Structure 1
Amino acid sequence: MRFYLAESVLRLETLVGDLEDATLSMMKQVSRKTKASNQTIAQDESGWRLAKQLVAVKAMKDIEEVLAGVAKNRPWWTNLLKAVDSRVDKALAILRPQCLTDYRILIASLGWPPALSATNVDKDNCMEMQNPLFLMQGEKKARYSQSFLVLCSLQQLQAKREARSSLLQKNHRACNPSDFNDVGEVSFFKYGLWPIDELVNPIALRMEYHFSKWLDQPKFIFALVYKITQNFLDGVENILQPFIDNAMILGCSAKEAWVLAMMKVLLDYLERQVFPALTKNHCKRDVDADSEVTSSLLHMVDLMIAFDRRMKILSTSGIHFTGSFASIDGFFPSFSIMSIFNDNSDWLQIWAEMEVKDAEGKLKPQLEDETSWLKVSSNQAGDTYYKEESFLFLSREDYKAPLIIDSVFHFAWAMIERGLSIPSMQRRNQFIGASANLFLSHFFTILHERSRDVEFMVVITDDIELLRLCSAINTACYCEHVLQEWGEDVNLLEMGASGDDSKGMFEDGIMVLVNLQTDCLEEILTSLLLHFDNLCWNYVQDSGQWEMKQVDSDGSIPDEDYLLISPTFMEALDMLRDRIQFFKQNLNPQNFLDLWRSIAGGLDHFIFTSIPMSNASFSSLGINQFRIDMKALFLIFKPFCARPEAFFPCISNSLKLLEINAKDADQMLKLLSQGHTVSEDCLRFQGLFHVSPSQAKKVLRNRMRGD
C-alpha cells in the first residue's frame, strides 16, 4: 500500500507540475504582451498560447483520471485528494479566465457578432454570408477549433471534478471501498456549453437595446429572441457540431446548446428588468392599477409557456432517436424560462394570487346567475367550456351537476396546466396549492353556503328550495369524482407523492365535498322522517285499530296500490312516494341510492319502534291490516330494487312473528325465556336476524289470543 501511495503521489506531483508550468508560462507571456498592446494578441503568439492551453488541459485530464481512481479505491486518502484539488483549483482559477479571454478576442477578430437580421431577399444565403463562422478558413479555423476544444474540455473536467467531490461527500460514512460507485459519464450539457455561451453574450447586448423599447409589448421581446435563435440555428449546427464531436462530448448538440444559451439570455433579462417592474405595485390598493398588473403578468406567463414550447420544438427539429440514444441523460434541454420562479417564490405567490383573482372575476357573473346552478340535459350542453377536454372521465350530465361547474373546472385545470410548466416539483406543488386548490376551495365554500341557506324543517315540502339543495349535492358529488380522476393523473400523482405527507394533492378538497354531501343528505333524511312522522301521527298513536279492524270497501280509493290501506296512513305514503320520485329525478344516482336506502332504514326503525314494539294488541284482522299497510310502504321502493322488504328488516321480522300460529308462538316464547344461546338459536332457526330475543318476546306477547 505504501508503494502504491508513493507511486500515486509522484505521478500526481508530475502532472500538477506540468499544469502549473503551462499556466505560469502562459501568464508571463500575457504580461509581456500586455505591455506591448492592450488590444490584441499577435498572431504568431496565438498558436503558442493555444498549445500551452492544450498542455494544461491534457495535464488536468490525467490528474482527474488518477484522482477518480483514488476516490474509488482509496477514498480515505482525503488529505491527498484535498491537496491536489487545492493546487488544481488555483491553476484553474488562472487558466479558465484566460482561455475565455483568448476565445473572446479570437471570435471578435473573426467579426463576431454578426448582424441580427438579413436584408437580402435570399435570406438563407444572406445569413451564411453574414455569419463570420462560415468564413473561417485554414489557420483561423484551426485556431478556433482548438480554442473551442479547450473550453469544452475545461467544462467537462470541471463537471467531473464536481461530481467526484459530491460522490465522496455522499459516501463519506462508507467503510468498504466496494461501497463506492464510479463517477462514470457526467452530463453537463443541461447547464449550457461555454464556447457557445460566449458566442451568444455579445448578441445579447445588442438584443437588450431593443428589449428596453418593448417593455409594454413583451411579445416582441419573445419574437426577437426566437427569430434570432432560428436564423443562426442551422449555421451554428453545421459549423460547430463537428467541433463538439471532435471534443468527444457524448449526447451534446450544438443546436440545443445554442437554443439553451439564447433562453438563458432572455431569462436573465426577465429576472433583472421585467418581473421586478411587474410585481412592484402588487401590494397597492389601486383597483385599476392592480387589474392592469394582473393582466400584464398573466399575459407574460402565457408568452413564457408558449416560448418554452416553441424553443423545445426548435431545438429538437430534425433529430430522430433510436436505440439507447433516446435515453441519454441531458440530451433534451431541461432548461425552461419558467425556471424564473424556482428561486423567486414571492413572484410565484403573486402569480398564483393573480390567477385566482382573474378566475374568480370571470366566474362571478355565473355565480350570481341562478340559472347557472341548474342542471342541463346533454343536448343543452353546447355552451360548456371544456366539453372536449381530455380530463372529462364522466359527463357532468350523468351527475346532474349544474352548468357552472364546467367553468369552475375549466379555470382550475388551466391553472394546473400552467403550473405543470414549472420545472421545480416543489414550486409546482406550491403554485397549484396557491392557485387551483385555493380557487376550488373558495368555490366549495360558496357551495357549502348555498347548501346551508335553506330551512331544513320546511325544505322537504318546497320544491324550489329542495331543487337548490339537490343541485348543491350533485355539484359536490361531481366535483369529488373529477378531483379523484385528477389525482390519478401521472404528473399530479407524482407531485402528491413527493409532498411532506402521503395524502394526495386534492385529498382535503375531496373530504370537504364528501362531508358536504353527507351533511345535506342527513338533513334531508331527518326532515323527511320528521314530516312522515307528523303526517302519520294519528296512525301510529291509534293502538286500538290493531285490536279489531273492519275493512272499508266503499270504493272511495281508486288506486289499486292503496286498496285496504289505513286511511290515516295514506297521506304519509303519498308524501313519501312524491318526495322519493322528486329525488329520483333531481339527484345524482350515487347520492340517490344512499338516500333511499337511508330513508328505508329510518322508516324501518321508526315504524318498528312505534307499532310492533308499542303496547298495542294485534288481532288477526289487525295483523292483516298491518301487513297490507307495510306492503304498500314496500311498493314505494319497488322501482329501485327487486326485494324492497329486505331494506325493512325489523318490520319484516315483526310481521313473521305476528303471523306465527298460536301453538308455535307459545313454543317460541318458552325457548326465548331460556338461556341466551337457546334464544339466539331459536331466532336464527326461524330466519329472524334483526330482532333481539327480548324484542321478539314483546312482539309475540302483543298477539291477541282467541280472536
Structure 2
Amino acid sequence: MSERPPAPTLRGFLDAHFASPQDLPAAPALAELLRRECAELDPSLRRLEAHLADAADAWLARSAGARSHLARIRRTTRRGGFVGGEQEEGAGTATDVGLPELVREIQRIHTIRLYAALVGNLEDAAFSILRQPSKLNLSSMLRKSNETGWKQGKLLHAVDAVRDIERELVRISTARPLWTNLVMAVDSRVDKTLAILRPQALTDYRALLASLGWPPPLSSPDTDKDKYSQIPNPLVLMNEENKGRYSQSFQALCALQHVQGSRELRQRQTAAVADSKYSDRAACFDNGLWAVDELVHPMASRMEYHFVKWSEHPEFIFTLVYKITKDFVDGVDDILQPLIDQARLVGLSAKESWVTGMVKMLVGYLERQIFPALDCSNQDLTTVGKPEADSSWLHLNDLMISFDKRMQLLADSGIKKTACLSEGLSRSLSVFSIYSEHPEWLQMWAGVELSSAQAKLESEMEDETSWSCSGQHDQLGHMENSFKFLLSTREDYKAPPVSESVVKTALLMIERGRALPNSGMQIQYNRSSSVRFLNDFFCVLRDRCEALQLSNTALDDQSLSKICVAINAVRYCENVLREWDEDTTFLDMGPEGSLFTDETCFLVKLGTEYLEQILSSILLEFEDLSWEYVQNIGSWSGQITLEDQILDEENLAVSPGFVASLDVLTDRTSKLKQYLNSKDFLDLWRSIAEGLDYFIYSSIRWGEVTFSNPGVVQLRVDMNALLHIFRPLCSRPEAFLPFLNESLRLLTMKKSETECMLEMLMDDTQSDTSLRHQGFHHVNVCQAAKILRSRKSGG
C-alpha cells in the first residue's frame, strides 16, 4: 500500500526552506523553532476548547428550555388545552409564559446566536492574521507569495465579516430600534477587533512596500548637472508576481477603509449628527486613501531632511514637493487607478489621492516648523511692523497660492470627481487648510496684508496729484459733448486715481483670500483685511470733506473742487461694491448674501450728506447776494415810467441787484458740471433750481406789493435770465421752477381773465379742481388769489 503524498501547503513550505542541498544544515534549527511554536500554541488551543465547551453548555441549556416550552404548547394545542374540564399543568405553564413573549424570546435568541456567529467569524479571521511566525527567524516568510496571499485572504475574509455584521445591524436598527444594547455590544466587539486589525494590515502593507524598494531615492543616480532626469518609480518597475501581491494588498486595505468608514457613518447617523451632504464614500475617503498615504509617509522623512536646511528659503521646500509629486503622479495613476476601479471606489482619483497625500505631508511640516517661527517673529516686539517680518508672511502665502494652483492642475488631470466627493477632497487639497486649525495665524496673515496695503497707499494719498479730479482742466464745451449718465469706469465718475488704487488693492487682497478652502474662513480673512482697508479709506474721504467746513466758509473754487473729488470717489467706490455684491463669487462671503452691506450704506449716506452741504452752501450764497433784490421785488414796479412800458422785453436788461447772484450761480453751476460726476450733477442742479424757485417765490410779499405791466415784464426778464443758466442742462428748465412759472402765468393774464379766475377761486366747491384744470398744480387757491390781487388793475 503506497503512502499518501504530502499536502500542497506542506510541499510548498519545504520547498521554501530547502531549495538546495546547502539548506539541509538548517533543518535542526527549523525543527526546534516549529516545536517551540507548537508548544506555545497548545495552551491557547486548550483555552479555546474550554471556552467552546462552556459556551456550548450555556446555549444547550437555553435551547433545552425553549424546546420544553414548545413541547408544552404543542401538547396544549392537540388536547384543546383541557382534560376533563381541568387545565393540564403544562398548558397552564404555557399560558403563564405567554405565546408572544416566547416568540420574542426565540427571536432574540436567534439574533444573538446570529451575531455571535458573525462576530466569531470576524475574530477568528483577525486572530488568524495575528498568529504569525516569530520575526526573529521567520521574517523572510512575510515576503513569500503563499504567505502574503494567505494573510490577504484572511483580511478580506475579515472585511466580509464586518460587512455582514453591518448589514444585520442596519436591519435590526431599523426593525428593532429599542435593541440598542445588543447593537452597542456588537459594535464594541467589532471596534476592538478593527483596532487590532488596521495596524496589522498597515504593517503588512508597509513591509510589502519596503520589499518593493519603496520609498525611492529623491534623485536619479544618473542625473547630469544640466539635464533633468525623472526619478525611477518602483511601482512601475514591479514584475508580474509583485504586481499581483501589491494589487491584493492594496485592494484589501481599501476594502478595510471603506467598511470602517461605513461603520462610522452609520454610527453618526444613529447619533443624529450625520452630515447629509456626504455619501458613505465621502465619509471614509475625504481625507485620502490609507494605501496612498502609506506611499507618502516614508518619502516625507527623506524630504524633511532637506526641508530643515531650507527654513530661510521656503520656495525650495515647495519646489521639491511639487517635483516629487509630479515625477510620480503618472506612475501612480497608471498603477493605482485600475486597482481603485477594481475595488469599485467610484469617483475616486488616484492622481488626486496622491496629490492630496503630498499636500497633507507639506501642511504637517509647515504646521510644525515654519509657521511657529513666523508666529514668534510676528509677536516679537523688536520685529513687529518691520518690513522683514511682514514680507516673510506675504512671501510664504504667495508661495502657497502658487503651489496650490500647480497641485490642483496635477490633481485635475485625473478622472473627473463626482459631486459628492469634490468638496471633501478639495478641503484637504489646499495648503491653506492649515489656517482652519489655527485661526490666530489667519488673523496674523490678514493683519500683515492690511498693514502692507496701508503702507503702500499712504504715500499715494499724501500726493495731492492723486486727488486731482478727472476732467477738471477739460474745456467746458468738450464736457457737454461727453455728458452721460451710465457710468462704469473711474473716468466716468471723474474719481481721483487714488480711489482706483484703493479698489485694486482691496480686490487683490480678496483674490488672495479666495485660496482659503471655505467661505467661513474667507469671510473672517476679508473682515480683517480688505473690509478694514476700505473702511479706513472711506474715513479719509469723510475727514477730507469735514475739513472743508462748507457750512461755515464761503464756497470757493478750491473747496468746491475738493469736495466734488471726494464725492466722485465715494460714488465710484459705491458702484464697485455694488458690482462685487452682484458677482457670484462674492455671494457666499456675507452672512446675508453681501459682504459689503454696511460699507455701501456708509458711502450712500456720506455722498448724500455732502451733496446736501453743497446745495445748502450754493443756496445760502445766492440768498446773501440777492436778498435785497428779492425783498424789493414789486416795490420798484410802481416807479417804472410809462416810457419804460414800450421797451422791448428781449432787449430789457436784468435788474442790477440780481446780476451778481446770477453771475455767481452761473460760475458755481459750470464748475459743478466740470468737477462733479454727471449723475450727481443732474440731481444737484435740479435741487438747486427747486431751492431757488421756492426761495424767490416765498420771499415775494404777495398781496402786499402791486405789479404794473412794466414790473411784470421786468420780473419775467429776470426769471428768464435765471432759466438761461439751466437751459443748457435741460430743454424745459421752467419745469424745475414751478412756483415762479405759475406765478408769472397768473400775473400776465388779461384783465378779463383775471376777473374770471378770481370769481372761480371764490367758489369753494370747485375752485381747487378748476385751478388744476387750468394747469396750475403747485400754487393753491389762496396763493393764486394773492398773486392775482398783486396785479395792478389796468396795468
- Normalised by the size of structure 1, how large is the TM-score? 0.88
Counterpart contact for 2:470–2:494, Cα < 8 Å: yes
Deviation at 1:378?
13
Please state if 1:574 is matched with 2:657: no
Name whichever of 580-589 and 462-471 sits farther off: 462-471
Deviation at 1:326?
6.3
What is the DSSP-based 3-state SS (H/G/I as helix, E as strand, rest coil) of the residue aligned with 1:536?
A: helix
Q: Distance between the aligned counterparts of 1:131 and 1:594, measured in 2?
A: 72
Name the structure 2 match of 1:168: 270
Name the structure 1 match of 2:248: 146
> CA, structure 1 residues 614+429, in 2 after alignment: closer, same or farther (shift >3 Å)?
farther
Name whichever of 353-362 and 565-574 sits farther off: 565-574
Q: Distance between the aligned counterparts of 2:697 and 2:773, measured in 1?
A: 21
CA displacement, residues 30-89 of structure 1 (integer Å, 9 cap, x when unaligned): 4x6257678984746433322221110111122223334445566565444433322221
Counterpart contact for 1:57–1:154, Cα < 8 Å: yes
Name the structure 2 match of 1:132: 234
Counterpart contact for 2:746–2:784, Cα < 8 Å: yes
Deviation at 1:119?
3.4
CA displacement, residues 482-524 of structure 1 (integer Å, 9 cap, x when unaligned): 111011111111222xx1xx26211111112112211111111
Please state if 1:246 is matched with 2:334: no
Within the candidate set 590, 601, 611, 1:511 is matched to 601
Name the structure 2 match of 1:706: 794
What is the DSSP-based 3-state SS (H/G/I as helix, E as strand, rest coil) of the residue aligned with 2:291?
A: helix
User: Max radius of gyration: which structure?
Assistant: 2
Q: Distance between the aligned counterparts of 1:379 and 1:309, measured in 2?
A: 46
Name the structure 1 match of 2:18: none
Q: Distance between the aligned counterparts of 2:497 and 2:349, measured in 1?
A: 50
Q: Distance between the aligned counterparts of 2:661 and 2:309, measured in 1?
A: 78
Name the structure 2 match of 1:383: none
Counterpart contact for 1:548–1:619, Cα < 8 Å: no
> CA, structure 1 residues 623+82, in 2 after alignment: closer, same or farther (shift >3 Å)?
farther
> CA, structure 1 residues 233+694, in 2 after alignment: closer, same or farther (shift >3 Å)?
same
CA displacement, residues 419-474 of structure 1 (integer Å, 9 cap, x when unaligned): 11101211100111111110000011111111111141576642122111111011
What is the DSSP-based 3-state SS (H/G/I as helix, E as strand, rest coil) of the residue aligned with 1:564?
A: coil
Name the structure 2 match of 1:636: 725
Name the structure 2 match of 1:176: none
Name the structure 2 match of 1:411: 505
Counterpart contact for 1:562–1:570, Cα < 8 Å: no
> CA, structure 1 residues 703+82, in 2 after alignment: closer, same or farther (shift >3 Å)?
farther
Name the structure 2 match of 1:308: 404
Equivalent residue runs for 1:211-610 within 5 Å = 211-286=307-382, 290-317=386-413, 319=414, 327=419, 329-330=421-422, 333-334=426-427, 335-376=429-470, 394-457=488-551, 461-496=555-590, 499=591, 502=592, 504-543=594-633, 544-549=635-640, 563-610=652-699
Please state if 1:96 is matched with 2:198: yes
Q: Distance between the aligned counterparts of 1:646 and 1:110, measured in 2?
A: 92
Which residues of structure 2 form unaligned runs of 5+?
1-102, 475-485
Q: Distance between the aligned counterparts of 1:284 and 1:225, measured in 2?
A: 30
Deviation at 1:588?
0.3
Q: Distance between the aligned counterparts of 2:715 and 2:426, measured in 1?
A: 79
Tell me which amino acid in the other structure corresponds to 1:546. Answer: S
Counterpart contact for 1:117–1:228, Cα < 8 Å: no
Deviation at 1:305?
0.7
Counterpart contact for 2:401–2:512, Cα < 8 Å: yes
Q: Distance between the aligned counterparts of 1:107 and 1:47, measured in 2?
A: 15
Q: Distance between the aligned counterparts of 2:177 and 2:652, measured in 1?
A: 96
Counterpart contact for 2:655–2:718, Cα < 8 Å: yes
CA displacement, residues 171-224 of structure 1 (integer Å, 9 cap, x when unaligned): 99xxxxxxx999666464431110110111010011111111111111000000
Equivalent residue runs for 1:62-81 within 5 Å = 62-71=164-173, 77-81=179-183
Q: Distance between the aligned counterparts of 2:650 and 2:523, measured in 1?
A: 59
Counterpart contact for 2:469–2:561, Cα < 8 Å: no
**How many pairs does the alignment contain?**
674
Name the structure 1 match of 2:766: 678
Q: Distance between the aligned counterparts of 1:608 and 1:539, measured in 2?
A: 13
**Identity among equivalent pairs (%):** 45
Deviation at 1:618?
1.7
CA displacement, residues 590-616 of structure 1 (integer Å, 9 cap, x when unaligned): 110111011011101101101264732
Tell me which amino acid in the other structure corresponds to 1:581. Answer: S
What is the DSSP-based 3-state SS (H/G/I as helix, E as strand, rest coil) of the residue aligned with 1:456?
A: coil
Deviation at 1:673?
4.3
Tell me which amino acid in the other structure corresponds to 2:399. Answer: L
Counterpart contact for 2:513–2:522, Cα < 8 Å: yes
Counterpart contact for 2:654–2:718, Cα < 8 Å: yes
- Normalised by the size of structure 2, how large is the TM-score? 0.79
Which residues of structure 1 form unaligned runs of 5+?
173-179, 381-391
Name whichever of 448-457 and 282-291 sits farther off: 282-291
